[in-house]
Amino acid sequence: MSELNDVFKFIDEHFDEHIQKIQSYLRQPSVSGEGIGMHECAELTAKYIENLGGEAEVISSPIKYAEHPGWPLVYGWLDSGADKTLLVYGMYDTQPVEEEKWDYPPFGAEIHEISPFGQCIIARGAINTKGPLRAMFNAFEAIIAVKGRLPVNIIFLIEGEEEIGSLTLIDYVKKNKEEFREADASWMAGARQDRNGKVRISLGNKGIITFDMICRGGDWGGPVGRNLHSSNEAWVESPVWKLIQCLASMRDETGKVLINGFYDGVTPPTSEEETIINELLKTFNEETLKEELSVKRFKYNLKGRELILQYLYQPTLNIMGIASGYVGPGTKTIIPHEARAKLDIRLHPDQDPEKIWKNIQNHLLEKNFRNVELKLHDASPGSKTSPNAPIVKAMLKTYDEYKIEKQIWPFSGGFAPTFIFTKVLGIPFISGGIGHGGRAHAPNEYIILNKTGPIYGISDMEKFYVKFLYNYAET
Amino acid sequence: MSELNDVFKFIDEHFDEHIQKIQSYLRQPSVSGEGIGMHECAELTAKYIENLGGEAEVISSPIKYAEHPGWPLVYGWLDSGADKTLLVYGMYDTQPVEEEKWDYPPFGAEIHEISPFGQCIIARGAINTKGPLRAMFNAFEAIIAVKGRLPVNIIFLIEGEEEIGSLTLIDYVKKNKEEFREADASWMAGARQDRNGKVRISLGNKGIITFDMICRGGDWGGPVGRNLHSSNEAWVESPVWKLIQCLASMRDETGKVLINGFYDGVTPPTSEEETIINELLKTFNEETLKEELSVKRFKYNLKGRELILQYLYQPTLNIMGIASGYVGPGTKTIIPHEARAKLDIRLHPDQDPEKIWKNIQNHLLEKNFRNVELKLHDASPGSKTSPNAPIVKAMLKTYDEYKIEKQIWPFSGGFAPTFIFTKVLGIPFISGGIGHGGRAHAPNEYIILNKTGPIYGISDMEKFYVKFLYNYAET
């Protein structure tokens, strides 16, 4: 792709300026959880789109969180007169900062050595993900400066609530599908090399349901509003026993979930997925994984293909937490008047979270646990993108051009609200890019500046984005 | 019993002095949980015995608690040349004080009005139980001043750890039975009238086992030493699920405990107990009880005799508390690496706690819950005293002389270490006396000074103790 050499030369010549632009973005705080700098950062992001010659809108959120209002979405449009339209998804918000734990100011974006990576920009958002997002704008600016226009049209959708649940984004996309009707595919720019230079690609993710289960004393029995001396347990019901029995009724000792219909919608691997899994098995190592996860044993002592299938294709019912009564030193002989548990369900991408939630509710009615209250937090489906989608092929091709060792997964076990692209808008979604950073969600978050061994620096990250855009335009 | 009128006259004449002695005892702090004033109060208590003409010893504790050493026992002996020897059990320790919540200084023992009881002494320990204990010494002093000697010999055993588990007391009695071989019966002085002037008498109490159950990730599976992202629950075991399944295996949904041998040693009511229960049913009111306990319904909707039998004769397996992972606002998608529960078992007085504890351990082995750790805190048997024991007859006779409305229970559902008297020493035990106080374990603890309606004041409390001692001597 020698016709891009002029763009690459431009990027090299403007390296210092590009780094300064990244630093400048990182110096604008945007902590969604604490509501710091959100409107300012949204406006700044909108300006980046306008600087490319696009149109941008800062859209107020209709969402009300418990501690703050929702934060604005940045919606933008850049018409390049191209055939294809790419929906660029991004986030301008970051995790909170615990200032005193940082060696350098978290919004200073200072450049310091971090062994073994050499010089790095240190700031909240450096890798997750304002650093790569601004590098993408640098890449777009370089193309426009040299070529006059991008090879694809772009719809920008950059949210300020990625770290707090994306409610505004999900609401907006569901209600405004027509604004995205031109989009052929969606992409999130990242710097996704690990410490060894490898990249993990997931072509989708599982769905999620999160909810609370609460049992309190009431008309059915149990102490009402205050704990009782435990001698009364002989004649008074116990809400914590009730909750435990309700939980135990939902799952057997092997881990199988006993809720009717819980496995409805689980599909076996498609032939495309089988191909991916067979390829994945060549680099999958359960011993390394045990160390990474700090576990001594996997369920049922599974290995290889069976372990991967268990991880991806089995929905789970997990207890995030449970609390009742007294667990401090010594004893406090009480019947607690209240018990609560917090659970999450991980769904196969083809499962319908609303149906599964109904099944949970039915289980409690059928098993006569009407005295256990259910409180839903979230029920969102998973997502899958075909490995044959042009956007995926363009991404894989670009990785190959950089000789990046990659591990492809049919989808990931975690959750991200990518169903808004694949299910609501019906377009494929991929996340990707080269470069490396770390300590996301921790002090001294960093992104590395220059190529170090197999890990690429920021100028290559920008060049990768350029190549990827052209590769996609050509598919 | 007109020959006691001179003693009663003495008590009336020395009322102010007696109150001052009570105040003086209450002004000496003795908070066992926090280790405040313990040695000073033990010495003071020993001096009270010596002032009667007895011998007293302050015995150091061999026990080491987590936060402090054990506190001394006060052992004393007063030979009256009488036929009968009474073991007087008492406690010189109190609950801690949260100073800022009191209207008057907790160790000031000031006298103030408390509606509707008139003048009261307000102090930590006023009712529980330094007030009644010192009133008992006043009564003994009065008898000796007037009659020259008590009608029974006394062995004093006054502990400083009643509020923290009585470990020193239990250890001492088990190891020094010969010191108590003369004792015919044991008694604890109290001011046991409720707000309506009624008295509840329990001729024993249930036994107790308290223990922790802990499950952590380890060789069997689960995250080791740190929480894991909950997407991993598909292939990694969950310690909190394991604990919940272990708990659920121990008890069915009706409340029946599924541990083999859990009900071993439970005996049906004896004919003596049947008589007591039939009498008890005349004043037992489950509706009032519901209100007192703040419950809307008893287990299995039981009433009357069946409810009393359920309360007293059924051992229970209660969860005092459980904790694992995250239960704060929102969600934290983790598999917790550890889960812990705190349980207590209430045993029928005839059950053997050591056998039951073995059964619990066996259950975990048999049901393959080797990954759930058991940690025993306490395993102590219950206790029963025959209604035909002379000490009981003397107590009931004394109550009748004061026309006190009394409700007798075969034994109570709570625990007190009275097995050291009934089982270790083989002598009957009774607690009793008239008078009233309240807010034990709470701010503004009080004991009422003068007779108010059916509730007797402190001079009658002392006279009651005098009568009771003579009634016992005469049985």
Query: pLDDT tens digits, residue range A328-376?
Result: 888 889 999 999 999 999 999 999 999 999 999 999 999 999 999 999 9
A204 has pLDDT over 90: yes
* pTM to 2 decimal places: 0.90
> Predicted ipTM?
0.91
Q: What integer pLDDT is reported at residue B2 of this predicted model?
A: 56
Show the tokens assigned to B228: 């894991």
Q: What integer pLDDT is reported at residue B22 of this predicted model?
A: 98
Q: Is A262 at the interface with chain B, CB within 8 A?
A: no
Q: Which residues of A touch B319 (CB under 8 A)?
A: 238, 240-241, 244, 324-325, 336
Q: Which residues of A touch B340 (CB under 8 A)?
A: 327
In sequence order, what E strands does A271-337 have?
316-325, 334-335
Q: Which residues of B touch A310 (CB under 8 A)?
A: 234-235
- Coil/strand/helix, residue A309: helix
Q: What integer pLDDT is reported at residue B98 of this predicted model?
A: 85
Domain with CATH 3.40.630.10 in chain A: 2-204+386-474
Q: Looking at residues A135-162, what average pLDDT do you find?
A: 98
Q: Which residues of B touch A377 (CB under 8 A)?
A: 330-331
Q: Looking at residues A186-199, what average pLDDT do you find?
A: 96
Per-residue pLDDT of chain B (475 residues; tens, 9 = 90+): 558 999 999 999 999 999 999 999 999 999 999 999 999 999 999 999 999 999 999 999 999 988 889 999 999 999 999 999 999 999 999 999 988 899 999 999 999 999 999 999 999 999 999 999 999 999 999 999 999 999 999 999 999 999 988 999 999 999 999 999 999 999 999 999 999 999 999 999 999 999 999 999 999 999 999 999 999 999 999 999 999 999 999 999 889 999 999 999 999 999 999 999 999 999 999 999 999 999 999 999 999 999 999 999 999 999 999 999 999 888 889 999 999 999 999 999 999 999 999 999 999 999 999 999 999 999 999 999 999 999 999 999 999 999 999 999 999 999 999 999 999 999 999 999 999 999 998 999 999 999 999 999 999 999 999 999 999 999 8
**Architecture label for domain B2-204+389-474:** 3-Layer(aba) Sandwich (3.40)
Q: What integer pLDDT is reported at residue A330 of this predicted model?
A: 80
Q: Residue A346 and residue B251: Cβ atoms within 8 Å?
A: no
**Architecture label for domain B207-266+314-380:** 2-Layer Sandwich (3.30)
- CB burial string A264-282: b at 16+ within 10 A, e below: ebeeebeeebeebbeebee
Q: Which residues of A touch B320 (CB under 8 A)?
A: 230, 325-327, 331-334, 336
Contacts with A, B 53-82, CB within 8 Å: 66
Q: Is B210 at the interface with chain A, CB within 8 A?
A: yes
A221 has pLDDT over 80: yes
Best mutation target, A240, A257, A310, A320, to test chain B (most B CBs within 10 A): A320
Sign of dihedral through CA atoms A331, A334, A340, A343? Answer: positive
Q: Looking at residues A283-296, what average pLDDT do you find?
A: 94
8 A C-beta contact, residue B265 and residue B352: yes
Residue A297, Cβ neighbours under 10 Å: how many?
17
Q: What are phi and psi of A21, to 5 degrees?
A: -65, -40
One DSSP character per residue, B137-181 reads HHHHHHHHHHHSS-SSEEEEEEES-GGGT-HHHHHHHHH-GGGGT
Q: What percent of chain A has pLDDT over 70?
A: 100
The mean of the pLDDT values for chain A is 96
Q: Which residues of B touch A68 (CB under 8 A)?
A: none
Q: Is A383 at the interface with chain B, CB within 8 A?
A: no
Q: Residue B241 and residue A325: Cβ atoms within 8 Å?
A: no
Q: What integer pLDDT is reported at residue B1 of this predicted model?
A: 53
Sign of dihedral through CA atoms B351, B353, B354, B355? Answer: positive
A89 has pLDDT over 60: yes
Q: What percent of chain A has pLDDT over 90?
A: 95
Q: Which residues of B touch A302 (CB under 8 A)?
A: 235
Q: What integer pLDDT is reported at residue A98 of this predicted model?
A: 85
Placement of tokens 């004896």 in the chain? B270
The CA distance from A357 to A346, in Å, is: 12
8 A C-beta contact, residue A134 and residue A25: yes
Which one has a higher pLDDT value, B68 or A81?
A81
Q: What integer pLDDT is reported at residue B48 of this predicted model?
A: 98
Task: Please give, rounded to a whole number of angstroms, the shortest distance from the CA of B114 to a CA of chain A.
Answer: 25
Q: Which residues of B touch A321 (CB under 8 A)?
A: 240, 324-327, 332, 334, 336
Q: Residue A344 and residue B230: Cβ atoms within 8 Å?
A: yes
Smallest Cβ–Cβ distance between A298 and the set B235, B294, B299 belongs to B235
Tell me how many degrees the CA angle B405-B413-B401 measures, rounded to the nearest 5: 20
Q: What is the pLDDT of residues A417-468, one digit of tens each?
A: 999 999 999 999 999 999 999 999 899 999 999 999 999 999 999 999 999 9
Q: What is the pLDDT of residues A300-310, one digit of tens each?
A: 999 999 999 99
Q: Residue A321 and residue B336: Cβ atoms within 8 Å?
A: yes
Domain with CATH 3.40.630.10 in chain B: 2-204+389-474
Q: Is A210 at the interface with chain B, CB within 8 A?
A: yes
Q: What integer pLDDT is reported at residue B441 of this predicted model?
A: 86
The CA distance from A52 to B18, in Å, is: 94
Domain with CATH 3.30.70.360 in chain A: 207-266+314-380
Q: Residue B339 and residue A329: Cβ atoms within 8 Å?
A: no
Q: Which CATH code fits A2-204+386-474?
A: 3.40.630.10
- Coil/strand/helix, residue A155: strand
Q: What integer pLDDT is reported at residue A449 of this predicted model?
A: 98
One DSSP character per residue, B254-321 reads TS-B-STTTTTT--PPPHHHHHHHHHHTTT--HHHHHHHHTBS--GGG--HHHHHHHHHHS-EEEEEE
Q: What are phi and psi of B14, to 5 degrees?
A: -105, 25
Q: What integer pLDDT is reported at residue A2 of this predicted model?
A: 55
Q: What integer pLDDT is reported at residue A1 of this predicted model?
A: 53
Contacts with B, A 122-181, CB within 8 Å: none
Q: What is the pLDDT of residues A267-281, one digit of tens each?
A: 999 999 999 999 999
- Coil/strand/helix, residue A201: strand
User: Between helices B130-147 and B15-26, what is the axis angle to 10°?
Assistant: 140
- Coil/strand/helix, residue A262: coil
Terminal C-alpha separation, chain A: 14
Q: Is B326 at the interface with chain A, CB within 8 A?
A: yes
- Tell me the pLDDT band of A258, cut-offs 50, 70 and 90: very high
Q: Residue A336 and residue B314: Cβ atoms within 8 Å?
A: no
Q: Looking at residues A307-323, what average pLDDT do you find?
A: 97
Placement of tokens 């270490």 in the chain? B417
Q: Which residues contact B11 (CB under 8 A, 6 or more apart)?
A: B18, B138, B139, B142, B459, B462, B463, B466
The CA distance from A107 to A308, in Å, is: 40
Q: Residue B331 and residue A210: Cβ atoms within 8 Å?
A: yes
Placement of tokens 């018990």 in the chain? A339
The CA distance from B19 to B134, in Å, is: 9
Smallest Cβ–Cβ distance between B335 and the set A311, A312, A318 belongs to A318
